[in-house]
């Protein structure tokens, strides 16, 4: 049992941080948190490169809805931290969009683990978000479902589909940043998922900006094209040039159903990946997207597997029912 005596929750909104030379100017308490989390998520980046990545991403419009949360002891020891991003949520029978919170970067120093600090932090946030009228919280767990299931999160089904890059002919229109807002405005709600988190220009831009950061670090030119459209089928991607990750990540695949338009944007993604020497095209495939591949022949060029990241959702409002939900895509990742 956690002794919560003296613990306090501190919020660090990032929406109005000043920007200088393409990076956010972060206060010392935020840099303190980012330096701690670098041990878990810097990977191939040095700590200073990781800090720069975080400062760059905080300049993007999506980060106006970012708040960093910390749980402190009575002597100001940092016990746990996480981030939340405000996202729109479509809830069945509501006349307008609600909102939810995407939870990311839940972190406790190794020496402080096993005391329930992360659970205490999240439980306090859940109560606060529910009081503010949030529909749900969601996250992508890299540590399996157990911790979050204890807090009420429910796992959502997800598979990964990978296709080999190859120079396939297609007649899809390639898209750039300037096409994104108009393209998203034409996308209908996902079939069979009345409860969903709609894609936004801001969140997709955040993903593409992340890809651009890594390309810059590696001295690669980041391509101008970010997706393809054919008829009512739309596919948005992020080129990932990281040394151990080289692939074309599909952030969004939307279409009314399977058919030739889907085949054309899928072919465009494979051809684009081949042109840019990215060996694999990777899709996050939930129930909604799986149906779109019904007419796509499975061959030696394709493979599916379980996802490393486990999507989980916590309903916070009484009218949010997960039986209404079957849409998880890579653009939801935080």
Q: Do domains 8-155 and 159-306 have the same CATH topology?
A: yes
Structure-token pair, residue 176: 């750039």
pLDDT averaged over the chain?
94
pLDDT digits (tens, 9 = 90+) for 140-175: 998 888 889 999 999 999 999 999 999 999 999 999
pLDDT digits (tens, 9 = 90+) for 44-64: 899 999 999 999 999 999 999
CB-CB contact of 148 with 118 (8 Å): no
Q: What is the CATH T-level fold of the domain 8-155, as seen in this structure?
A: Aminopeptidase (3.40.630)
pLDDT digits (tens, 9 = 90+) for 30-45: 999 999 999 999 988 9
Q: 306 exposed, middle or buried (CB, 10 Å; 0-12, 13-18, 19+)?
A: exposed
256 has pLDDT over 70: yes
pLDDT of residue 300: 58
Helical packing angle, 28-41 and 47-57, nearest 10°: 120
pLDDT of residue 1: 52
Dihedral angle computed from the Cα positions of residues 298, 300, 227 and 238, in that order, rounded to the nearest 10 degrees: 120
pLDDT of residue 2: 61
Q: Indicate the SS3 state at residue 8.
A: strand
pLDDT of residue 26: 96
pLDDT of residue 44: 87
Cα 218 to Cα 246: distance, rounded to the nearest angstrom: 12
pLDDT of residue 245: 85
DSSP 95: S
18 has pLDDT over 90: yes
Cα 78 to Cα 173: distance, rounded to the nearest angstrom: 50
296 has pLDDT over 60: no
Dihedral angle computed from the Cα positions of residues 29, 30, 33 and 34, in that order, rounded to the nearest 10 degrees: -140
Cα 132 to Cα 153: distance, rounded to the nearest angstrom: 19
Go through the chain and tell me how many residues it has. 334
- 7 pLDDT tier (thresholds 50, 70, 90): very high
pLDDT of residue 109: 92
Whole-model pTM: value is: 0.95
Tell me how far apart the terminal alpha carbons of the chain are, to the nearest angstrom: 30
Please state the rounded mean pLDDT for residues 199-217.
97
Share of residues in the chain with pLDDT > 70 (%): 97
* CATH for the 159-306 domain, from 3.40.630.30, 3.40.50.2300, 3.40.50.300, 2.30.40.10: 3.40.630.30
pLDDT of residue 259: 92
Cα 71 to Cα 277: distance, rounded to the nearest angstrom: 44
pLDDT digits (tens, 9 = 90+) for 222-246: 999 999 999 999 999 999 999 888 9
pLDDT of residue 53: 97
Cα 284 to Cα 139: distance, rounded to the nearest angstrom: 15
Please state the rounded mean pLDDT for residues 65-73.
97
pLDDT of residue 144: 82
CA 192 to chain centroid: 21
User: Looking at per-residue confidence, does 4 or 83 come out higher?
Assistant: 83
> Which of 192, 141, 135 has the alpha carbon at shortest distance from 326?
192
Backbone φ and ψ for 216, nearest 5 degrees, come out as: -60, -40
298 has pLDDT over 60: no
Structural domain boundaries in the chain? 8-155, 159-306
């Amino acid at each position: 049992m956690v002794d919560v005596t003296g613990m306090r929750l501190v919020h660090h909104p990032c929406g109005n941080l000043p920007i200088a030379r393409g990076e956010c100017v972060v206060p010392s308490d935020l840099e303190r948190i980012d330096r701690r989390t670098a041990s878990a998520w810097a990977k191939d980046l040095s700590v200073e490169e990781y800090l720069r990545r975080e400062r760059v991403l905080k300049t993007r419009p999506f980060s106006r809805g970012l708040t960093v949360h910390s749980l402190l002891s009575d002597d100001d020891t940092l016990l746990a931290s996480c981030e939340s991003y405000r996202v729109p949520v479509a809830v069945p029978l509501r006349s307008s969009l609600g909102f939810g919170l995407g939870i990311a970067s839940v972190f406790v120093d190794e020496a402080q683990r096993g005391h329930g600090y992360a659970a205490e932090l999240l439980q306090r946030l859940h109560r606060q978000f529910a009081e503010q009228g949030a529909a749900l919280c969601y996250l992508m767990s890299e540590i399996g479902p157990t911790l979050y299931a204890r807090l009420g999160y429910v796992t959502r089904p997800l598979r990964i589909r990978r296709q080999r890059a190859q120079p396939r002919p297609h007649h899809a229109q390639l898209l750039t940043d300037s096409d994104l807002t108009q393209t998203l405005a034409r996308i209908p709600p996902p079939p069979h998922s009345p409860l969903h988190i709609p894609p936004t220009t801001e969140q997709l831009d955040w993903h593409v900006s992340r890809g651009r950061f890594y390309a810059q670090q590696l001295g690669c030119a980041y391509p101008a094209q970010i997706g393809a459209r054919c008829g009512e089928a739309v596919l948005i991607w992020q080129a990932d040039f990281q040394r151990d990750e080289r692939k074309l990540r599909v952030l969004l695949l939307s279409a009314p159903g399977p058919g030739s338009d889907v085949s054309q944007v899928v072919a465009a993604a494979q051809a684009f990946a081949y042109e840019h020497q990215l060996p694999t095209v990777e899709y996050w495939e939930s129930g909604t997207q799986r149906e779109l591949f019904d007419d796509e022949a499975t061959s030696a060029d394709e493979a599916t597997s379980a996802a490393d990241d486990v999507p989980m959702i916590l309903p916070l409002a009484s009218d949010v029912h997960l039986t209404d939900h079957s849409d998880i895509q890579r653009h939801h990742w935080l």
